[in-house]
Amino acid sequence: MLPATGIVSRSVAGCRSPAPTPEVSQTAVMTPSPGAVPPAVPRARLRAVGRRLAAVHGAPPAPRRLPPLDELVLTVLSQHTSDVNRDRAFDDLRRAFPRWDDVADAPAPAIARAIRRGGLAPTKAVRIKALLGLLRAQGRSLDERAFRGMRAPALYDLLVALPGVGPKTAACVLLFSLGKPYFPVDTHVHRIALRLGLVPPGTDAVKTQLALQAAIAPADMYAVHMNLIRHGRTVCDARRPKCEECVLARLCPRVGVAARASREP
């Protein structure tokens, strides 16, 4: 049975203490797709970014450490919505369907009704049903045992092969659920990495993820990831970055910012 307690957002204080996690190898090397060679990252600048963000934002709240399958579904629900609505949708889904097997067996419209508060419910319902069905077809238990005993690289490869699961989602499962050194790159992290010149202009999110993951110390990945997201939400806005307030201003070449500002009305 799934736990009855609600989800505590990874982006706010008050997260519950980490729980024991299934045995997974400490080895965590992201498997690159063909041709996905990560660019070199200016590591001294990256370390300085991490220190300055930590000085301003402090240590982020501890991760929830949900079971990996729970984290996978939660991350699918997080796409294109707020943390609050994601958590509401997850809790609603758990109330409607006590077991993941129940979700896999349910019609997609019924799943969509359960997760409607998370937005894009019809699309997410199809994805969740499909990935659960595929995992079950592979002989995996749809519970906390689903990925037990898997080495981290093998689990990453399995996850990105699932419908609707990309490198960011797979890295979220490994980092947030299992505490493995994988570095998810969402829109905020990608934008800041480009503006700071941590990766060359035009580098896509997948290569940015590979590059930053290779450059950040494993012990620092969670804090750097969380603080970059917080900085992107509060200071380094996509349209109107508050450069005059930015603790990273002296480190930042503002790649793309001046050109964007000149086009704003």
The CA distance from 166 to 69, in Å, is 15
Q: DSSP characters for 106-166? A: S-HHHHHHHTGGGS-HHHHHHHHHHHHHHHHHTT--SSTTTTTT--HHHHHHHHHTSTT--
Query: Among 129, 168, 180, 207, which one carries the catalytic annotation?
Result: 168
* 207 assigned to active site: no
User: What ranges in the chain are assigned the alpha helix state H?
Assistant: 43-57, 68-77, 83-96, 100-105, 108-114, 121-137, 152-160, 167-172, 187-195, 205-215, 221-234, 257-263
The residue assigned the tokens 């001294």 is 44
Q: At what angle do helices 221-234 and 187-195 cross, to 10 degrees?
A: 90
Phi and psi of 11, rounded to 5°? -105, 5
Where in the sequence numbering do the catalytic residues fall?
Answer: 168
